[in-house]
Structure 1
Amino acid sequence: MAELLKGAPIAKELYGDFLKRSDDFKERGIYPKLRIIIASDEPAIETYSSMIVKNCEKAGILSDTKNLSVGSADTDILGLISESNNDGSVHGIIVMLPLWKQLDEKKILAAISPEKDIDGVNPYNAGKTVLGQDSFTPNTAQACKDIILRSGIEFSGKHVVIIGRSNIVGKPLANMLLQKGVDATVTVCHSRTRNLKEICRTADILVAAIGSPKFITKEFTNPGQVIVDVGMNEIELPDGTVKLVGDVDFDNVKDSVKAITPVPGGVSPLTHTALLENLFKAVKNQINEQSVQ
């Protein structure tokens, strides 16, 4: 059976370090704080935001959640973002996606101050990621990179195939892995890619980020391959219960590859730690800016 690359043990170590960093800031009178903005009624968002709040507590970080009403307009959420940008007690802002359909997502994400954009969704930070400059990177993309490196696997010289071209995983991850010092050879596949199975079989590292349950089977794999499964899909079983599965058919693939991230428990714990790592980075940057002024 393939080696399981689990994020939870890595995350546990990181939370100990986070608590220490929080305490160090608090001794200086600085209380790291995250603001979560929700303009949606999707149950999954409520669940995910609650997890963020709990993880903030574990790390000694303050957080608050602002929920907008169903009929909110762009001006409502833009006003809240502006207020948060100018609030010195708020160090990081995350807008939960997706938004209600009447809202202009691009305009809203672009309104987040780049200095507080700890999910890396502002075009300014996205552009810096492309150029290989220091920036806030999207947390799920960062988590994919982290779980590979922290498992002792190198990217240099490896062929990484990413299935999915979203702005929060596929595109940023591809740009992160192309940078000098990481040195992967990257192929990005999507819904119009021809010969997908053949391309995937050439991968040293295969990243599945398409939101399609159990899409990847052993026909996509090779025996030396490492698979990073980003998918988080709910499926209903014959008995009516709901099960969380990835984009990879785990049972079908587990004996055909070298290593794989399970779902749940693989990438997801490091998505949360990547968010908090970015928050601490934002706090430090804002302190440095204030000392220069």
Structure 2
Amino acid sequence: MNSDAPTPSARIIDGRASAARIRARVARAVETLKREHDLVPGLTVVIVGDDPASHVYVRQKGEQTREAGMVSDTIRLDADTPEDELLRLIARLNADARVHGILVQLPLPAHMNADAVIAAIDPAKDVDGFHVQNAGRLSVGLPAMVPCTPLGCRILLEETLGDLSGLEAVVVGRSNIVGKPMAQLLLASHCTVTIAHSRSRDLPALCRRADILVAAVGRPEMIRGDWISPGACVIDVGINRVPTRDPELAAQGKTRLVGDVAFDEALSVAGHITPVPGGVGPMTIACLLMNTVTAAARAHGLDPEAILAD
């Protein structure tokens, strides 16, 4: 053993435990809606094609939705389904009062326009928070459906750090799904926010400024340990499959999951860090369930914050 090796100091942020607490809160809220308002939240997930990862994810969503006491419906369409058929399905779901949340699993087949499909979803039922109306409302501070992954990240940050006011946050990644809404949520929490990306000059220096560093670039272990300010809170959104380190397993084509942060390096520098897996990932589905309860409550003129209160 190398006595000069750095000693890990970062506290691991347990996303699984936090997600379990959210699911328990959602289940209690669903019971309240059933008992006091005769209302059962309903989520419909639409999946097009045969992407294996998408099918696993959709199955997990269905299982957790049902475990929380909600109605879960999954509609599977063939990969060659015409786009106009999908749009007609969405129109029917928009009109169905029993459906409070609609989620179209991405990615879609190449012949479909994802923006047009997302735009077709009723913004009030857009539990993914991707509709342009929800994005706009989030940006100006109005009530909106918030994308699940950034929402989960903010919850983890607040549970870990408490009040985020005045902290310097750097978000690496500018996607509409994570980077941009994450920045909006951090601004709403009174952070000073920088959005960095692949064309940012001196990205390591930008990262070193951060009290909060959110990595959402989709590049395995891109952010190195010496990019991180000592004591910073690191939220790793990345989920990347890379070859396993075991030569025998690698020869069999086995892979392992890593984030966008070089975790082992970051451990000796960061104050707090999310692992991959087990960090942000579980929060995404938990926040989807919470968004579905929010949508159901709003559809019936109820206060979702009151319904979801502990």
Q: Same fold, TM exceeding 0.5?
A: yes
Please tell me the residue identity of whatever aligns with 1:226: C
The 5 Å alignment of 1:20-169 reads 20-27=28-35, 28-169=37-178
CA apart distance, 1:198: 0.6
- Matched-pair contact (CA < 8 Å) for 1:138–1:168: yes
CA apart distance, 1:11: 1.8
The 5 Å alignment of 1:198-217 reads 198-217=205-224
Note the residue ranges of structure 1 that are not aligned, 5 or more in a row: none
3-state secondary structure, aligned to 2:22: helix
CA apart distance, 1:22: 1.5
- Matched-pair contact (CA < 8 Å) for 2:49–2:80: no
Root mean square deviation of aligned Cα:
1.3
Match of 1:282 in 2: 295
CA apart distance, 1:145: 0.7
Which region of structure 1 is more displaced relative to structure 2, 266-275 or 104-113?
266-275
Alignment length (residue pairs): 287
CA apart distance, 1:243: 1.0
CA apart distance, 1:117: 0.5
Cα deviation, 1:118-154, whole Å, max 9, x if unaligned, reads: 1111111110011011100100111111100022343
- Matched-pair contact (CA < 8 Å) for 2:150–2:182: yes
Which region of structure 1 is more displaced relative to structure 2, 146-155 or 217-226?
146-155
Note the residue ranges of structure 2 that are not aligned, 5 or more in a row: 1-8, 303-310
- Matched-pair contact (CA < 8 Å) for 1:40–1:98: no
**How far apart in 1 are the matches of 2:144 and 2:108?**
24
The 5 Å alignment of 1:159-238 reads 159-179=168-188, 182-237=189-244, 238=247
Q: Residue 260 of structure 2: which of 224, 231, 247 is its match?
A: 247
Which region of structure 1 is more displaced relative to structure 2, 146-155 or 159-168?
146-155
**How far apart in 2 are the matches of 1:175 and 1:35?**
27
Cα deviation, 1:51-86, whole Å, max 9, x if unaligned, reads: 111111221111111111121122011011001000
**How far apart in 2 are the matches of 1:9 and 1:223?**
25
TM-score normalised by the chain length of structure 1: 0.95
3-state secondary structure, aligned to 2:61: helix
Give % identity. 38
**How far apart in 2 are the matches of 1:259 and 1:153?**
13
TM-score normalised by the chain length of structure 2: 0.90
CA apart distance, 1:157: 0.6
